[in-house]
Structure 1
Amino acid sequence: MHEHAITGDRASILAGRSRHLPERHPIVAWAALAWAAAGAVTVSWPNIKDIALTTHVGVGEGLVGVLLLLGFLLGPLLRGVNRWLGHNGPWFVALPVLLSVWQVASAKTGYWPMPFFPPPQGLLHAYVTDYPRLLESVKASLVLLGLGLAFGATAGFLTGLATGWTRRVSYWTSPLLRFVGPVPTTALIPLVLFLFPSSFSAGIFLVALATWFPVTILTWSGVAGVDKAYYDVARTLGADQRFLLLRVTVPASLPHVFVGLFMGLGHAIAVLVVAEMIGVKAGLGYYIDWARGWTAYGHLYAGLLVMALLFSALTTLLFRVRDRILIWQKGVVQW
Structure 2
Amino acid sequence: MSAHIEAETVRPVRSWKLSENTRDRLISIASPILLLLVWEIAARTGLIDTRFFPAPSSIFETLVTLSSTGELWQHTAASLQRLFIGFLVGGIPALILGIIMGLSRPVRAVFDPLISATYPIPKSSILPLALLIFGLGEGSKIFMVAIGVFFPVAINATAGVREINKIYLDVGRNFKASRWDTFRTIALPGALPVIMTGIKLGVGMGLVLIAIAEMMGAKSGLGYMIWAAWETFSVEQMYVGLFVIAIIGFVLTLVLNEIEKRLVPWKR
TM-score using structure 1 length: 0.67
- Of 72, 86, 92, the residue aligned with 1:134 is 72
Does residue 314 (structure 1) correspond to residue 217 (structure 2)? The answer is no
Could you list the per-position Cα deviations for residues 104-138 of structure 1 after superposition, in whole angstroms to 9, with x for gaps in the alignment?
235xxxx5444433333321331232221111111
- Of 42, 46, 51, the residue aligned with 1:102 is 42
Checking the alignment, whether the CA contact within 8 Å between 1:115 and 1:296 is kept in structure 2 is no
In structure 2, the CA distance between the partners of 1:297 and 1:159, relative to structure 1 (3 Å rule), is same
Secondary structure of 1:117 counterpart: coil
Secondary structure of 1:308 counterpart: helix
In structure 2, the CA distance between the partners of 1:198 and 1:218, relative to structure 1 (3 Å rule), is same
In structure 2, the CA distance between the partners of 1:92 and 1:20, relative to structure 1 (3 Å rule), is farther
Name stretches of at least 5 consecutive residues in structure 2 with no aligned partner: none
Checking the alignment, whether the CA contact within 8 Å between 2:43 and 2:53 is kept in structure 1 is no
1:234 equivalent in structure 2: 172
Following superposition, the deviation at residue 93 of structure 1 comes to: 8.5
Checking the alignment, whether the CA contact within 8 Å between 2:161 and 2:187 is kept in structure 1 is yes
Following superposition, the deviation at residue 180 of structure 1 comes to: 2.1
1:276 equivalent in structure 2: 214
- Of 81, 86, 91, the residue aligned with 1:143 is 81
Secondary structure of 1:183 counterpart: coil
Following superposition, the deviation at residue 317 of structure 1 comes to: 1.2
Larger RCO: Structure 1 or Structure 2 (Cα < 8 Å, ≥ 6 residues apart)?
A: 2
- Of 38, 60, 63, the residue aligned with 1:124 is 60
In structure 2, the CA distance between the partners of 1:249 and 1:297, relative to structure 1 (3 Å rule), is same
Distance of 1:118 and 1:240 partners within structure 2: 61
Distance of 1:256 and 1:91 partners within structure 2: 28
In structure 2, the CA distance between the partners of 1:225 and 1:19, relative to structure 1 (3 Å rule), is closer
Secondary structure of 2:217 counterpart: helix
Checking the alignment, whether the CA contact within 8 Å between 1:163 and 1:220 is kept in structure 2 is yes
Could you list the per-position Cα deviations for residues 239-267 of structure 1 after superposition, in whole angstroms to 9, with x for gaps in the alignment?
34332222112211112211211221222
Following superposition, the deviation at residue 197 of structure 1 comes to: 4.1
1:205 equivalent in structure 2: 143
Following superposition, the deviation at residue 91 of structure 1 comes to: 5.0
Distance of 1:180 and 1:195 partners within structure 2: 18
Larger radius of gyration: 1
Following superposition, the deviation at residue 19 of structure 1 comes to: 5.9
Checking the alignment, whether the CA contact within 8 Å between 2:90 and 2:145 is kept in structure 1 is yes
- Of 97, 110, 130, the residue aligned with 1:159 is 97
Cα RMSD of the aligned pairs, angstroms, is 3.1
Report the more deviating stretch, 200-209 or 156-165. Answer: 156-165
Report the more deviating stretch, 197-206 or 320-329. Answer: 197-206
Does residue 329 (structure 1) correspond to residue 267 (structure 2)? The answer is yes
Structure 1 segments (4+ residues) deviating >6 Å:
none
TM-score using structure 2 length: 0.82
Following superposition, the deviation at residue 160 of structure 1 comes to: 1.0
Distance of 2:33 and 2:50 partners within structure 1: 27
Does residue 287 (structure 1) correspond to residue 215 (structure 2)? The answer is no
Checking the alignment, whether the CA contact within 8 Å between 2:40 and 2:55 is kept in structure 1 is no
In structure 2, the CA distance between the partners of 1:120 and 1:100, relative to structure 1 (3 Å rule), is closer
Distance of 1:269 and 1:93 partners within structure 2: 23
Distance of 2:72 and 2:109 partners within structure 1: 47
Following superposition, the deviation at residue 92 of structure 1 comes to: 9.4
